[in-house]
């Protein structure tokens, strides 16, 4: 069984609704464990109500698999700042709630486009599949800091773990890392991650495995990339969006994504390319229906959503 974990917030609930639909269409009950949704902002009750009203119906019969958490269940306390870093921390802390040996971390922007099977996730020898790739320059300092934290010289910067979702996690390894860091620092993992020099969640786990096991090869098997997303760098570039649409034609790719920056910029050519993908893979029936998900909306509320 495979649990799913998505950290969400108000501006991306439309994309989360489409993700729910994609789970119903492409992930069967024989593989799916629990769907964990973590609300990464204050005002949990309103977000929870919106999810229950608008998102859960898209899961169809899989709605019974969904658990929704206020972030404080994971952090253990109120945080002064919620955003990109807390989102990363929760992708690791959710391991304490995971009920399967392995779980798949998603962002709201990720949508399944092909059936997901055990073969999609695991190598025949039982290791989880992962696709190494070069480190993006904006994450290079985070990677080096993660290695330095464990007193490691940086390994090759040409091909290490990806820094984006979907990301396969081994539950026990994440829990072990959290326990290790809490004992080493004598503080909660929330404080370790949020208050230490900046690292990213996946590189932190990568460095931990390098330091503890000499690498990740006994747990992860190198495999082709299974997901592509239209990121913020392509928000105003239709040609980049179309190039990504071509890449997902590969039969082993089961996940497509669109960053909320794309929705904010509203480049017509990019939005048309995204809508075409959604139609092609059966997530929406028409361009008109796609437009429902191509708007970055905020829930009306007394407290302002924290946007990051």
Q: Mean pLDDT in runs of 10 for the chain (308 residues)?
A: 95 94 93 97 93 96 97 95 95 97 98 96 97 88 91 76 94 98 95 90 95 94 95 91 93 95 92 95 94 73 44
Please report, in angstroms and rounded to a whole number, the separation of the first and last CA atoms in the chain.
Answer: 33
Asked if the structure places residue 300 within a domain, the reply is: no
Using CA of residue 81, residue 82, residue 87, residue 89, what is the dihedral sign?
Answer: positive
Asked if the structure places residue 304 within a domain, the reply is: no
Asked if the structure places residue 257 within a domain, the reply is: yes
Note the pTM of the prediction, 2 decimals: 0.93
Asked if the structure places residue 173 within a domain, the reply is: yes
Reference 277, options 113, 59, 116, 164; nearest CA is 113
Asked if the structure places residue 214 within a domain, the reply is: yes
Asked if the structure places residue 299 within a domain, the reply is: no
Which 3 state secondary structure label does DSSP give 274?
helix
Whether the upstream peptide bond of residue 174 has omega within 30° of 0, thus cis, is: no
CATH of residue 280: 3.90.550
- What is the gyration radius of the CA atoms in the chain, in angstroms? 19
Asked if the structure places residue 133 within a domain, the reply is: yes
What pLDDT score does 303 carry?
47
d(CA 149, CA 223): 28
What pLDDT score does 297 carry?
60
The DSSP 8-state label assigned to residue 55 in this structure reads: I
Angle between helices 84-93 and 171-185 in degrees, nearest 10: 110
Question: Residue 186 corresponds to which tokens in the numbers above?
Answer: 């004598």
What pLDDT score does 240 carry?
93
Question: Residue 68 corresponds to which tokens in the numbers above?
Answer: 């929704």
What pLDDT score does 306 carry?
42
Beta bridge partners of 230: 258
Q: Which domain holds residue 22?
A: 2-291
Total structural domains within the chain: 1
What residues have CB less than 8 Å from 48, skipping those under 6 apart?
A: 39, 68, 70
Q: Is 8 left (phi over 0), alpha (psi -120 to 50) or beta?
A: beta
d(CA 4, CA 257): 16
Asked if the structure places residue 99 within a domain, the reply is: yes
What pLDDT score does 136 carry?
83
Angle, CA of 72, 293 and 16, to the nearest 5°: 25
What residues have CB less than 8 Å from 103, skipping those under 6 apart?
A: 2, 3, 4, 5, 33, 36, 94, 95, 168, 169, 171
d(CA 254, CA 250): 9
d(CA 198, CA 293): 33
């Amino acid at each position: 069984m495979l649990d799913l974990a998505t950290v969400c917030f108000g501006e991306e609930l439309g994309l989360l609704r489409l993700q729910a639909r994609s789970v119903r269409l492409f992930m069967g009950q024989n593989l799916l464990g629990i769907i964990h949704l973590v609300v990464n902002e204050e005002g949990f009750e309103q977000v929870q109500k919106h999810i229950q009203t608008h998102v859960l119906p898209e899961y169809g019969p899989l709605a019974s698999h969904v658990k929704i958490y206020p972030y404080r269940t994971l952090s253990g306390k109120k945080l002064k700042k919620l955003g990109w870093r807390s989102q990363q921390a929760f992708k690791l802390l959710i391991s304490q709630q995971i009920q399967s040996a392995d779980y798949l971390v998603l962002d709201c922007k990720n949508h399944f486009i092909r059936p997901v099977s055990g073969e999609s996730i695991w190598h025949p020898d039982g290791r989880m599949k992962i696709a190494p790739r070069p480190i993006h320059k904006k994450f290079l300092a985070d990677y080096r800091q993660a290695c330095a934290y464990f007193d490691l010289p940086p390994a090759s910067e040409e091909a290490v773990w990806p820094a984006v979702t979907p990301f396969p996690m081994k539950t026990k390894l994440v829990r072990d890392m959290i326990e290790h860091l809490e004992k080493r620092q004598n503080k909660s993992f929330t404080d370790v991650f949020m208050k230490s020099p900046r690292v990213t969640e996946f590189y932190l786990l990568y460095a931990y495995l390098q330091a503890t096991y000499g690498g990740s090869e006994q747990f992860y098997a190198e495999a082709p990339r299974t997901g592509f997303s239209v990121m913020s760098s392509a928000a105003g570039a239709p040609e980049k969006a179309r190039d990504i649409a071509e890449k997902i034609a590969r039969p082993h790719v089961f996940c497509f994504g669109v960053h909320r920056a794309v929705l904010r910029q509203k480049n017509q050519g990019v939005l048309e390319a995204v809508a075409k993908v959604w139609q092609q893979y059966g997530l929406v029936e028409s361009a008109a229906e796609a437009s429902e998900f191509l708007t970055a909306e905020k829930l009306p509320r007394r407290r302002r959503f924290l946007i990051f």
